[in-house]
Structure 1
Amino acid sequence: MAPLGKIYTYPDNYRVQRALALAALNGLEIEIPAFQMGVDNKSPSFLSKFPYGKVPAFESADGTFTLTEGQAIARYVADSGPKSAQLLGADPQTRAKIEEWACFADQEFAANMIPALLMTIANIIPFDAARYAQSTAGTERALKRIDEAVKGKKFVVGDELTFADVMLLGPLQLATKFLVDEEMRKSAPNVEGYLRGLLEIPELKAQFGDLVLCEKRVGGQ
């Protein structure tokens, strides 16, 4: 089978890991070319296809279709194979709930987590105690919402793995490594079991590996 296309990205990008996991679930192949962030994405050839210079960036195998924005790429991959109805929902209400959680994953959980990541793990922006506290508080609030939704359940929507679970798994498994520490996990006791269950699925484990739980958050006092 010919590849669906290629994704340009830097290493260990959870947005791309989500797309690759969805590709594996759908029996699709996606290429990851060699890519140097800050160099290749500023080249004329890259900008001719992706004018904003953002990654991840998807290009179809025949070169006629391009996409940026991780959520859009992941959804396209989910919708391009035989498990699209399961992953994206078979009726309007299910599709809407899946979309609700996919949006929550990026617009609430990840959006709150990322400032703390940029100040500590990535060291891209200067550490600011007030902003760090705001980031961790927002992350914990979003984590509690997820905790409520998965209590007594294996998946966040329905009885099967969906796009929503994969979208949540990306930022959640990253956050547990550096921010969602033992103290924060006490306020969301169902999330660990939810993540462990997802990572028992071979296609997800192949991309995200084992669950790593930090005892104390990076940058915390």
Structure 2
Amino acid sequence: MAPFGKIYSYPGNYRVARTLALAELNGLEVVLDPDFQMGVTNKTPEFLAKFPLGKVPAFESADGSFHLTEGQAIARYVADSGPKAAQLLGADPKTRALIDQWACFAEQELGMHLLLPVRMTLFKIIPFDEARYDQCAANFERALKRLDVALQGGKKFLVGDQLTFADVMVLGPLSLATKVLVDAEMRKAAPNVEGYLKGLLEIPELKKAFGELVLIETRVKA
């Protein structure tokens, strides 16, 4: 692989895993900055000169000339920069629109409702509030049921008959949600999703980036 760029972020960020998976699929070398320290590196003048809001993930091209923030934008740029761009992003307007629909769904319906429970439990950076947690869980389950409907009939992929950007984007928050929020009871309400995730993680490039699928029996609380 030819050097393509590096990402600044903390470990275990599913937004980074999505980009690394897309890089593998496209034969691009994208690496994590080994010296990055959250709350330290991203507050330095040098970092802020490149990324003014200090947000991660943040991407820098191999030659240092191009800087990009926002996880979805970084993932899309990497998806569009290699030989599998047409497959991943769609070869016609309708296919591209469907892929974009699911990419937005991943951020707005899955990622958004996962964020608060994760901050309460795994990161413990805000106090646990059961009412808010349960509301997020209900909203997430609603989104999961929508995904389940789209996967009826044994579908392996969300758009067409091959892996696209849509699947990688949806896999991101789900790979974390199954460790925290999506317990056995929630999986029963969306029976097609588990098989879908297992199928995606049989793809070597995705398994390398995301690791093994973890399924909890009971959701994590404080």
Gaps of 5+ in 1: none
Structural mapping, 1:17-166, within 5 Å: 17-34=17-34, 35-152=36-153, 153-166=155-168
Number of matched pairs = 220
2:24 partner letter: A
SS of corresponding position for 2:15: helix
> How far is the alpha carbon of 1:195 from its aligned partner?
0.2
Distance 1:209 1:199 in 2: 8
Distance 2:54 2:111 in 1: 21
> How far is the alpha carbon of 1:207 from its aligned partner?
1.0
Distance 1:150 1:3 in 2: 36
Q: TM-score scaled to structure 1, two decimals?
A: 0.98
Identity rate of aligned residues, in percent?
Answer: 72
SS of corresponding position for 1:4: strand
CA RMSD, 1 decimal? 0.9
> How far is the alpha carbon of 1:2 from its aligned partner?
3.1
Distance 2:31 2:24 in 1: 12
Distance 1:54 1:130 in 2: 29
Question: Which range moved further: 156-165 or 124-133?
Answer: 124-133
SS of corresponding position for 1:76: helix
In structure 2, the residue matched to 1:200 is 202
Q: Contact 1:181 / 1:214 at 8 angstroms: preserved in 2?
A: yes
Q: Contact 1:113 / 1:138 at 8 angstroms: preserved in 2?
A: no
Distance 1:20 1:47 in 2: 23
Gaps of 5+ in 2: none
In structure 1, the residue matched to 2:175 is 173
SS of corresponding position for 2:217: coil
Q: Contact 1:57 / 1:69 at 8 angstroms: preserved in 2?
A: yes
> How far is the alpha carbon of 1:136 from its aligned partner?
0.4
1:211 partner letter: L
1:128 partner letter: D
